[in-house]
Amino acid sequence: MIIRQFFSFAAVGVVGTAAHYSTLIALVQIMHVNPVVSSGAGFVVGALVNYALNYRLTFRSTKLHRDSMPKFFVVALFGLGFNTAIMALMTGVWKLHYLVAQVLATAGVLVWNFAVNRYWTFK
């Protein structure tokens, strides 16, 4: 059960990640916004997509949105903090390309988000 849920969570995450990265790339390449700020904006867009899809598909939640949504976004706020810190470190200190840094940040935040959402948000 947990393995299937994790893979569903990851598949939904691909859609949310596509929304995140599309926002990130558009802001950096077209609007010339700082990559760390752009990543944060993309993270928020991706989180909205992830909430909707995880609620319905991954966890098949029957909780009211007023109960699960605040929890989801508390988790997302911590994920945003981790993402932003990783992006700032990797692009600012280590001078990695912003997309390489984002891939590493995404991988780091994935495990946190799955565990906390499974055992707290949608339980």
Per run of 10 residues, the mean pLDDT along the chain (length 123 residues) is 86 94 98 98 95 88 88 91 96 97 93 84 80
Res 16: pLDDT: 95
When divided into structural domains, the chain yields a total of 1
Measure the CA–CA gap between 84 and 53, rounded to whole angstroms: 23
Res 35: pLDDT: 98
Res 104: pLDDT: 95
Domain range enclosing 96: 2-121
Measure the CA–CA gap between 64 and 55, rounded to whole angstroms: 10
Res 14: pLDDT: 93
